[in-house]
Copies of this chain bind each other. A is one copy, B any other.
Amino acid sequence: MNLRTLRYLVALERHRHFGHAADACFVSQPTLSAQIKKLEEELGVQLVERRHRKVLLTPVGAEVARRAARILQEADEVVELARSQQDPMAGQVRLGLIPTLAPYLLPHVVKPLKKKYPELRCLLYEFQTLVLLERLDRGELDAAVLALPVPLDGLEHFELFDEPFLAALAHDHPRANARSLTLDALRGETLLLLDDGHCLRDQALEVCSRIDVHEYHDLRATSLETLRQMVGAGLGVTLLPALAQRADDAVQTVPLVPQPTRTIAMVWRESNPRGTTLSLLAEAIRETMAPQITAWGGRAA
Complex contacts, A81 vs chain B, CB 8 Å: 60, 63-64, 67
* Interface residue A295 (Cβ < 8 Å from any Cβ of B): no
A44 with B273, Cβ < 8 A, contacts A49-B139, A67-B78, A75-B71 known = no
A86 with B44, Cβ < 8 A, contacts A1-B75, A74-B70, A74-B74 known = yes
* Interface residue A85 (Cβ < 8 Å from any Cβ of B): yes
Which residue of B has the minimal Cβ distance to A60? B85
Which residue of B has the minimal Cβ distance to A92? B59
Which residue of B has the minimal Cβ distance to A43? B82
Residues 20-41 of A at the B interface (beta carbon under 8 Å): none
Complex contacts, A116 vs chain B, CB 8 Å: none
* Interface residue A210 (Cβ < 8 Å from any Cβ of B): no
Residues 229-280 of A at the B interface (beta carbon under 8 Å): 269, 271-274
Q: How many of these chains are in the complex?
A: 2
Complex contacts, A51 vs chain B, CB 8 Å: 154, 271
* Interface residue A57 (Cβ < 8 Å from any Cβ of B): yes
Complex contacts, A223 vs chain B, CB 8 Å: none
Complex contacts, A63 vs chain B, CB 8 Å: 81, 273
Within 8 Å by CB of A46, from B49, B59, B94, B273, lies B273
How many chain A residues touch B (CB < 8 A): the figure is 43
Complex contacts, A82 vs chain B, CB 8 Å: 43-45, 60, 64
* Interface residue A219 (Cβ < 8 Å from any Cβ of B): no
* Interface residue A2 (Cβ < 8 Å from any Cβ of B): yes
A234 vs chain B, min Cβ distance (A): 46
* Interface residue A179 (Cβ < 8 Å from any Cβ of B): no
* Interface residue A77 (Cβ < 8 Å from any Cβ of B): yes
User: Interface 1/0s, chain A 72-103, versus B by CB < 8 A?
Assistant: 00110111011101100001101000000000
* Interface residue A50 (Cβ < 8 Å from any Cβ of B): yes
A103 vs chain B, min Cβ distance (A): 26
Most chain B CB atoms below 10 A, which of A81, A154, A271: A271
* Interface residue A110 (Cβ < 8 Å from any Cβ of B): no
Q: Is the CB of B273 within 8 A of A56?
A: no
A293 vs chain B, min Cβ distance (A): 31
Complex contacts, A44 vs chain B, CB 8 Å: 82-83, 85-86
Complex Cα distance, B60 from A70, in Å, reads: 21
Complex contacts, A274 vs chain B, CB 8 Å: 58
Q: Is the CB of B3 within 8 A of A78?
A: no
Closest CB pairs A-B (n = 5): A43-B82, A46-B273, A56-B139, A49-B271, A45-B82
Query: What are some 25 contacts across the A-B interface (CB < 8 A)?
Result: A1-B3, A1-B75, A2-B3, A3-B3, A43-B78, A43-B79, A43-B82, A43-B83, A44-B82, A45-B82, A45-B85, A49-B139, A49-B271, A51-B271, A56-B139, A58-B273, A59-B142, A60-B82, A60-B85, A60-B91, A63-B81, A63-B273, A64-B82, A68-B78, A74-B74
